[in-house]
C-alpha cells in the first residue's frame, strides 16, 4: 500500500466515524420511539432495535395538536420565506443599480446589522408586538423575522456582477425598473434564489425562542414550541417525546435530502458573506 492510498484510507475512516457520530442521535431517537415506555426504562434495553411498537406515534397523532402546529409552522415559514426573498431582492436591486442619496449609508447599516445579536432585540420586539396587538397571532411570529441582511448582501453581490450592457439594452427597449428586476435579473439568479429560499425556510421552521416568547396559546404554537407542551402534558414519556421530535424534524430532513445541493450552496454563500 502506497502512502497516498494509506492517507485516503485513513481519511475515509475518519469520515465514516464522523458520520456515525452524527447519525447516532437520529438512530437513538428512532429506536426509542419504536419501543414501549416500560421497555425503554428496563434494564434489558440496549442500543439495537429489538421491538416495533408504534404506540407512541399513534398517541402523538391522535392526542396532540400536531396537525395544527404543522399548519402554523408551514404557514409562517412560507410567508417569511416569500417576503424575505422579495423584499431582500428589491432592496439589493436598489442598492446595486439605483443612485439615490444615502445609498452607501444604507448599505453600511445593512452590513453593520450583522454585529447586532438577534436576542438583544427580543425585548423591544415583544413590546412592539404587544402594543400592536399581535401577540398570539401569525403576524406576531412573522414580522420580527423578516429582516435577513445576508439575503440583501448576497443579492447585491450578484446584481453588481451582471454586465451593465444587459441593463442598458432593456432600458433602450423601454423597460422599467420592475421589468429589469423580475424579467432580467431574477431569471438569471434562480439558483441563488432557490438556495436562499431553502435555507430561509429551514431557519424559520427551526426558530424556537421568538415563537416561544410571542405565543402563549396552544392553537398558535409552531412545531418547536409545541414539542415542549407535549412533554409537559405527557410527563416523562421518552417514546412519545422522540416520536414527536422525529415527526417535527421530518419535513426539514426530507427537504434537505431532496435539495441537498441547494442547501449546501446556501450555507457556503452565507458563510462566505459572514466570514
CATH number of domain containing 111: 1.10.3720.10
Sign, Cα dihedral of 171, 175, 177, 182: negative
Same domain, 77 and 210: yes
Same domain, 28 and 126: no
197-245 pLDDT tens trace: 888 888 899 899 999 999 988 889 998 888 877 654 555 677 888 888 8
Give every CB contact of residue 190 below 8 A, 6+ residues apart in sequence.
Answer: none
Which is more confident, 158 or 129?
129
Percentage of the chain exceeding pLDDT 90:
20
Which is more confident, 129 or 64?
129
For residue 270, tell me if it sits in a domain: yes
For residue 3, tell me if it sits in a domain: no
Number of domains in the chain: 2
Separation CA 82–CA 80 (nearest Å): 6
Same domain, 30 and 112: no
162-194 pLDDT tens trace: 887 777 777 777 777 777 888 778 887 777 888
For residue 142, the model assigns a pLDDT of 95
Q: Comparing C-alpha atoms, which of 240, 193, 233 is closest to residue 56?
A: 240
Residue written as cell 412592539? 128
Residue written as cell 456582477? 161
Asked if pLDDT for residue 131 goes beyond 50, the answer is: yes
Same domain, 48 and 79: no
Same domain, 91 and 223: yes
Same domain, 111 and 173: yes
The CA-based dihedral angle spanning residues 122, 242, 197, 141, taken in that order and rounded to the nearest 10 degrees: -30
For residue 75, the model assigns a pLDDT of 94
**Least confident residue range of 110-124, 137-151, 174-188, 216-230:** 174-188
For residue 177, the model assigns a pLDDT of 79
> Taking residues 256-269, what's their average pLDDT?
68
For residue 47, tell me if it sits in a domain: yes
If DSSP codes are grouped into helix, strand and coil, which group holds residue 236? coil
For residue 2, tell me if it sits in a domain: no
Residues 74 and 202: beta-carbon distance below 8 Å: no
For residue 154, tell me if it sits in a domain: yes
Asked if pLDDT for residue 70 goes beyond 80, the answer is: yes
Same domain, 38 and 80: no
For residue 195, the model assigns a pLDDT of 82
Residues 182 and 90: beta-carbon distance below 8 Å: no
Q: Is 68 exposed, middle or buried (0-12, 13-18, 19+ CB in 10 A)?
A: middle
**Least confident residue range of 1-10, 81-90, 128-137, 149-158:** 1-10
Asked if pLDDT for residue 256 goes beyond 80, the answer is: no
pLDDT band, very low/low/confident/very high, at 275 (cuts 50, 70, 90): very low
Phi-psi group of 159: left, alpha or beta (phi > 0 → left; psi -120 to 50 → alpha; rest → beta): alpha
Same domain, 112 and 239: yes
Q: Is 217 exposed, middle or buried (0-12, 13-18, 19+ CB in 10 A)?
A: exposed
Same domain, 47 and 103: no
Same domain, 128 and 228: yes
For residue 77, the model assigns a pLDDT of 93
Give every CB contact of residue 149 below 8 A, 6+ residues apart in sequence.
Answer: 110, 111, 113, 114
Q: Considering just the CA atoms, what is the radius of gyration of the chain in Å?
A: 24
pLDDT band, very low/low/confident/very high, at 126 (cuts 50, 70, 90): very high
pLDDT band, very low/low/confident/very high, at 267 (cuts 50, 70, 90): low
Same domain, 96 and 196: yes
For residue 138, the model assigns a pLDDT of 93
For residue 202, tell me if it sits in a domain: yes
Mean of pLDDT over the chain: 83
**Least confident residue range of 21-35, 43-57, 92-106, 239-253:** 43-57
For residue 7, tell me if it sits in a domain: no
Domain ranges, residue 18:
12-53
Grid cell listed for 70? 404543522
Same domain, 25 and 83: no
For residue 170, tell me if it sits in a domain: yes
pLDDT band, very low/low/confident/very high, at 125 (cuts 50, 70, 90): very high
Grid cell listed for 246? 422525529
Amino acid at each position: 500500500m502506497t502512502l497516498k492510498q494509506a492517507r485516503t484510507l485513513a481519511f475515509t475512516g475518519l469520515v465514516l466515524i464522523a458520520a456515525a457520530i452524527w447519525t447516532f442521535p437520529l438512530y437513538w431517537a428512532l429506536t426509542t420511539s419504536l419501543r414501549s415506555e416500560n421497555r425503554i426504562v428496563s434494564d434489558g434495553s440496549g442500543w439495537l432495535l429489538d421491538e416495533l411498537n408504534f404506540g407512541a406515534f399513534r398517541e402523538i397523532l391522535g392526542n396532540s395538536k400536531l396537525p395544527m402546529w404543522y399548519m402554523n409552522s408551514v404557514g409562517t415559514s412560507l410567508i417569511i420565506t416569500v417576503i424575505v426573498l422579495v423584499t431582500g431582492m428589491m432592496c439589493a436591486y436598489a442598492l446595486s443599480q439605483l443612485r439615490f442619496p444615502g445609498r452607501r449609508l444604507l448599505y453600511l447599516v445593512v452590513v453593520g446589522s450583522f454585529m447586532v445579536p438577534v436576542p438583544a432585540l427580543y425585548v423591544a420586539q415583544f413590546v412592539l408586538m404587544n402594543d400592536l396587538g399581535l401577540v398570539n397571532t401569525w403576524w406576531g411570529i412573522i414580522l420580527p423575522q423578516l429582516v435577513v441582511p445576508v439575503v440583501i448582501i448576497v443579492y447585491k453581490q450578484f446584481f453588481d456582477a451582471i454586465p451593465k450592457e444587459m441593463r442598458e439594452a432593456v432600458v433602450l427597449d423601454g423597460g422599467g425598473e420592475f421589468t429589469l428586476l423580475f424579467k432580467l435579473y431574477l431569471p438569471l439568479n434562480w439558483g441563488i434564489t432557490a438556495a436562499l429560499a431553502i435555507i430561509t425556510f429551514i431557519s424559520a421552521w427551526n426558530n424556537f425562542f421568538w415563537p416561544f416568547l410571542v405565543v402563549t396559546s396552544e392553537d398558535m404554537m409552531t412545531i418547536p414550541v409545541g414539542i415542549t407542551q407535549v412533554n409537559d402534558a405527557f410527563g416523562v414519556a421518552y417514546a412519545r417525546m422522540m416520536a414527536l421530535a422525529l415527526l417535527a424534524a421530518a419535513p426539514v430532513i426530507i427537504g434537505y435530502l431532496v435539495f441537498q445541493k441547494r442547501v449546501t450552496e446556501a450555507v457556503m454563500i452565507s458563510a462566505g458573506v459572514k466570514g
